[in-house]
Structure 1
Amino acid sequence: MIRIDKWLWAARFYKTRSIAKKHVEQGKVRINGQKCKPSRNVAVDDMLTIKKLDFTWEVKVLGLAEKRVGAKIAVTLYQETEESIKEREASIAISRMEYQSTPKPDSRPTKKQRRDIKNLKSRQ
C-alpha cells in the first residue's frame, strides 16, 4: 500500500508531490469513483480518475512505486482505458485546430508600432 499523492508523483502525473497533494485535496483525483484524501492508500487494480488541465485520465493501477521512477518504467505502473484515450486524443485534436485557426502576425511589431500599442493601452 502507498499513499495516493506519492503514487501520482512516482507515476509522473505530477511534477512534485505537493502539487499532487493539492490536486487530490481539490477533488481532481478520485479512487474508484470516490473523492479521497492525500493519505488514502492505493492498491493494485484500483481505478483512478485524474483531471488535469483540460484532460481526464481514467487509469487502472497495475503496480506501486514509492520512489519516482523513469518515464519508461512509470508507464508500466498504470493502464489507461480505451475511452479515456479516445477522449483525450479528441480534445488534443480540437485544441490543435483552435491553435491553427488563430491569426498570427507575419513579424514582430516595429518600435513605432509598439509605442502606438502602448499608447492605446494606456488610454483605456
Structure 2
Amino acid sequence: MDRHDDGGRDGPRLDKWLWAARFCKTRGVAQDEIDKGRVTVNGQAAKASRALRVGDRVGLRLPGGLERTVVVRGLSAVRGPAPVAQALYEETADSLAARARAAEQRRLAPEPSQAIEQGRPTKRDRRQLGEWTRWSASLDPD
C-alpha cells in the first residue's frame, strides 16, 4: 500500500488543508487548533482527519478572539505561494464584516498594554512608585 494513499477520501485532510491555505503555520498547529475545538466544518466539530469537499463551510476561531468563516473553493494538501493559498477559500460576507468591525474597534480603543514602551519597571522605578503612595499632600503638617 502506498504511504500517500488517502484511503478513498474525496479531498485532503482538514489539518493539511488548513496548513495549505495558510491559516496555520504548521500541520501540528492545525491539529492542535482542531483538537481544542476551534475549527468547525459545516457547523459541527471536526477531527483533523476529516476529508474536505469543495463547498464545505469552515469556521475558525483564531488567536485574539477573531472568528472567520470561509467556504472551501479549492482542494490542496500541498502548501504553495500565498496567492495560490488564497484561491483555496472564499471568506463569507458576515465574516468580512465582523473582521472590519473588530479592526475598527482595535483602532478606536487600543489595548492598554500596547502603550507601555519600556517593558517591566526596574527596581528603581518600583521604589519611586512606592514613594508616591507614601506621601500625601493632605497628611503633611504645616
* TM-score bracket for this pair, using the shorter chain length: 0.7 to 0.9
Alignment correspondent of 2:91: 80
| TM-score normalised per structure 2 | 0.73
Give the Cα–Cα distance (whole angstroms) in 2 for the partners of residues 73 and 3 of structure 1: 18
Size of the alignment, in residue pairs? 117
Residues 12-64 of structure 1 show CA distances to partners (whole Å, capped at 9, x for unaligned) of: 00111100000001110000000011011111100010110221111100001
Please list every run of at least 4 consecutive aligned residues from structure 1 whose deviation after the TM superposition is greater than 3 angstroms.
100-105, 118-121
Instruction: Name the structure 1 match of 2:16.
Output: 6
Name the Cα RMSD after superposition: 2.5
Q: In 2 relative to 1, CA 102–5 (structure 1 residues): closer, same or farther, beyond 3 Å?
A: closer
Q: Which has the larger radius of gyration?
A: 2
Query: Quick one: distance in 2 between partners of 1:103 and 1:33?
Result: 35
Q: Is the partner of 1:30 in helix, strand or coil?
A: strand
Identity of aligned residues (%): 33
Instruction: Tell me the distance in 1 between the aligned counterparts of 2:126 and 2:100.
Output: 40
Aligned: 1:30 with 2:43: no
Is 1:62 the counterpart of 2:73? The answer is yes
Which string of whole-angstrom CA distances, capped at 9 and with x for unpartnered residues, describes residues 67-86 of structure 1?
10111111110000001000
Please identify which structure carries the higher helix content: 1
Partner residue, 1:89: 100
Q: Does residue 127 of structure 2 align to residue 116 of structure 1?
A: no
1:18 and 2:21 correspond: no
